[in-house]
Structure 1
Amino acid sequence: MFNLTSDQIKKSNAVHTSREIHQQPVVWKELVTDLLEQQETFKGFLTSIYKKHDTVRVILTGAGTSAFVGDTLVPELARQNQQNVQFESIPTTDIVSNPTEYLFKEIPTILVSFARSGNSPESVATVTLGQEIVTDFYQVVITCNKDGQLAKNIQGDDKSITLLMPEKANDQSLAMTSSFTSMTIAAYVLFTEDVFTKDVATQVITSAEQLIERLGNTVDEVLGFDFERIAYLGSGLLAQLSHEAALKMLELSGGQVVAIHESSLGFRHGPKSILNDKSAVVLFMSQDPYTRKYDLDILQELAAAKSGMKIVALTETKDEEVEKLADWVISVNTGTESLSSDFHLALLYIIFAQALALKKSIQLGITPDNPSPDGAISRVVKGVTIYDYKK
C-alpha cells in the first residue's frame, strides 16, 4: 500500500490513515449505489422546497475539512444553478461567532451540514441558530455517523433529511480523507443538475483505483526532495480544493511543513514570496481549455525561476508541454472519455495530496493516525465554548 509494508504501517501508527486513503474507490462504489437508490426521495425533498419559495438559499457548512467540502462544491453547483437557488459556502466557525451576518430571517434557507462525527459543537450550534433566526429553515445533514448529534436531532423532522455515508467513511484517523471525498460526492449527487451516472461514476472510480496502485513510486520520488514548505495551487474549484490539500500536509506533518494554498492567478500577489530552495509547488491543472491557460502561465513562470524548488503538476491526461515544465507530472484519467468537469478531477487530485501527506508524516517520524499526541488538535474539536444567542 503506497510502497509501505504492513509492518511499516503498523510500526508508524498509520493503520487507519493509510487504509482510509486506500479504500476510497471501494467506499465511493457503495456510496453511489446507495445514493442512486434513494435519489428520487432526496430530489423530491429539494424540489418541494424550490417550488414553495421564489428564492432559496443553500448554505453548505462545516468546520475545517468539512467546510472545505462546501468550498470545493459551490463553484460547480453555482454554475449549474437553478434560477431560484443560490449556493454559498460558509463555515460553522463563522456562523456561530457572527450569526446575524450570515443568517437572515426572511430568506428561506437550506442548511447543508457536513460532519464526520456530527458532534462538533459549532455544527450543532449553527443548526440551533438557524432554527432561531430563519423563518423557513430546512436541513440536509450529510454525515458519517448515524449516532452523531446532528443526525439524532432531526429524527422525525419532515423539514430535514439525512444522507448517511457508508460506515467505512467514518474515518478513525485524526485527518479526514475518505470522509471528505464521500461527503463531497454525496452533496454533488444531491444538488447537481447533471446526473452523476453510473458510467461517469465508474470512470472516476476506476481511475482512482489505478491511481492509488501506481502512486507510491511518484510520491517516493517527490519525498526524495526534502521540502520544508509546500504550496498547493489551482483555479476555480481546484483552488478551493487546494485548501484541503494544504491542511492535510499541515495536519499530518504536525505543523513541521509550512503548507499554503492559493489560486493560480492569486499566487503572484504576495504568497509566491514563500518559495525558497526547500519548497515544493503542487499545481492542480484544470481540464477547461480557457482556465488551463492560466494554470500553464504560472507553471511556466515557476519552471523558469532560478531556484531549487520543485514542481508537481497534476493533469487529466498526458501532456507533453506540462512534462517539459514540471519535475513530476501525474495524469489521473485512465478512461477513454474526457471527464466533464474539474469536479471529477478534484476527487482524483486530492488522493495524491493525501498520500503525500501520509508518507511525509512517516518520513518525519510522526504517527499519521495521531499526529498531535499533545492534544493540540483532536479528531472531534475540544475546548469550544458556545454562548447563548440573544435576539
Structure 2
Amino acid sequence: MKEFSFSFSKEKKYLFVGCGSSYNIGFIMKEILNNNNYNSNVITGGHTILFDKIVETDIAILITRTGETTETVEAAKILKNKGIKTIGITCSKNSAITSVCDQKIELDVAYEKSVVMTGSFVFILSLLLNGLKNNDYTEISKKVLANSKKVIDNLDLENYEHFVFLGYDENYGVSKEGALKLQEMALQYVEYHEPLEYRHGPISRLTEKSLVVMNSKNLKEEKKLKEDIKKLGAKVIEVSSEGEIEIPLMNGFETPLRLIPIQYLGYKKAIQMGYNPDSPKNLSKSVKL
C-alpha cells in the first residue's frame, strides 16, 4: 500500500483499461469519478489493440492482476506511443505491465493463487477509491460478511439455476462482476441489466428457479420491480441500506462492500455444484495471446 501514492485531479482526463474483472473495476471507477465531476472513461484491452479509437486522455490506468495479460500489456504500449501517461496496476512484482508503463503500482500484498479474481478485486477497487476519499471498510465489512452469510446460507441453492444481477451506474459494474463470478466459479446461466431495462425483454426468462440480486440505490421504482419479480415466483435479494443484505449507501463508495455477497454467493453455488471455485474449467489466471 505504501507504493500507492496516486490521487485523482479534476484537471486531468483518465482512461481505465483492463480485461474481465479488471475491466469491471475500471467501469465502476469511471462511474464514480464522473458522478463526482471528474473526467474518465473505460475501455477493454482488446478494443484498444484492435481499433484506433482512443478518447482524448491525459492518464491511462491499466489494471491486470497478474501483470501479464497480453491485451492490456499491448494496450499500454499503444497508449504510451500516443504520448499518454500510463500507470500499471498489478498484484505481481516485476511483471510485463510494469516494465512498459511510466508508473507502476505493485500490490503484491493482494496476490492470490486463485484463477478467479476476488480479494484482489476488492483491494484494487478500494485503493482507487481512496484516491478520491479515504474510506475505512474494516468494521463494516465484517458486518456485511456476517449478514451475507446469514442470508445466503439460508438459501437452498439447489433450487436456483438462473442468476440475474441488477443495478444502475457503478452498481451496473458491480452487477456485471457478480454475473461473471457466478459464471466463472459455478458455471451458471447469468444475466446483468439495469433494473428497469429488465422488464424490456429479459424478464421473460424469469422462473421460480431464478435468483435475482438487486444492487439497489433505494429507488422507488427498484422497489416496485422487486415486488413484480417476486410475484412472478423468483427469489430476490436486495443489497442496500433497506435490503435483505444491509450495507450503508455512501454515494458509490460502498461498492467494495457490495462485492462481498456476490463473491460469497459464487463460492457457495460452486461448492453446491461440486466445483472448485478457485480453478474453473477452460480458464487460466492470465490470458496470453
What TM-score bracket applies, with the shorter chain setting the length?
over 0.9
Map 1:78-117 to 2 at 5 A.
78-82=34-38, 86-98=39-51, 100-101=52-53, 103=54, 107-117=56-66
1:359 corresponds to: 268
> Could you list the runs of 4 or more consecutive aligned residues of structure 1 that deviate by over 3 angstroms after TM superposition?
none
Q: Would you say the 8 A contact 1:234–1:295 is kept in 2?
A: no
Number of the residue aligned with 1:369: 278
Query: Is the 8 Å Cα contact of residues 163 and 186 (structure 1) preserved in structure 2?
Result: no
Q: Deviations over 1:75-116 (max 9, x none)?
A: 11012224xxx2001111211121x12x26xx4531100110
- 2:237 is equivalent to residue 340 of structure 1: no
User: Using the alignment, how far apart are the partners of 1:294 and 1:74 within structure 2?
Assistant: 25
Q: Which residue matches 2:183?
A: 250
From the superposition, tell whether residues 121 and 330 of structure 1 become closer, same or farther in structure 2 (CA, over 3 Å). Answer: same
Distance change (3 Å), C-alpha of 1:112 and 1:174: same
* Residue 297 to residue 118, structure 1, CA distance change in 2 (3 Å): same
Matched, 1:234 2:183: no
CA distance in 2, matches of 1:285, 1:96: 35
Distance 1:265 1:343 in 2: 23
The 2-side partners of 1:314 and 1:274 are apart by: 22
Contact 1:61–1:70 (CA<8 Å) still a contact in 2?
A: yes
Tell me how far apart the structure 2 counterparts of residues 233 and 225 of structure 1 sit (CA, whole Å): 22
Structure 2 residue ranges without an equivalent (≥5): none
User: Which residue matches 2:107?
Assistant: 165
CA distance in 2, matches of 1:223, 1:70: 34
Partner of 1:388: none
In structure 1, give the amino acid aligned to 2:166.
Answer: L
Q: Is the 8 A contact 1:116 1:171 kept in 2?
A: no
Specify the code of the residue in structure 2 equivalent to 1:340.
M
Distance in 2, matches of 1:331 and 1:285, equals 11
- Residue identity (%): 22
Aligned with 1:221 (options 117, 139, 154): 154
Structure holding more helix per residue: 1
Q: TM-score, normalised by structure 1?
A: 0.69
After superposition, residues 110-129 of structure 1 pair within 5 angstroms as 110-129=59-78
C-alpha contact 1:71 1:240 (8 A) present in aligned 2: yes
SS in 2 for 1:69: helix
Structure-to-structure mapping, 1:314-325, within 5 angstroms: 314-316=239-241, 319=242
In the alignment of these two chains, the number of paired residues is 289
Q: Indicate the residue corresponding to 1:4 in structure 2.
A: none
Find the aligned partners of 1:165 and 1:109 in 2 and give their Cα distance: 23
Q: Relative to structure 1, is the Cα distance of residues 348 and 108 closer, same or farther in structure 2, using a 3 angstrom cutoff? A: closer
Letter in 1 for 2:201: G
Alignment partner of 2:209 out of 269, 278, 301: 278
Find the aligned partners of 2:41 and 2:96 in 1 and give their Cα distance: 24
List runs of 5+ in structure 1 lacking aligned partners.
1-30, 51-55, 155-159, 323-328, 334-338, 385-391
**Counterpart of 1:117 in 2: which secondary structure?**
coil
1:94 maps to amino acid: H
Aligned equivalents of 1:108 and 1:371: distance in 2? 36
Code of the residue aligned with 2:58 in structure 1: it is: T
For 1:311, which of 236, 252, 261 is the aligned residue?
Answer: 236
Q: Would the aligned equivalents of 1:235 and 1:295 in 2 still touch at CA under 8 Å?
A: no
Q: CA deviation at 1:248?
A: 0.3
Is 1:68 matched up with 2:9? Answer: no
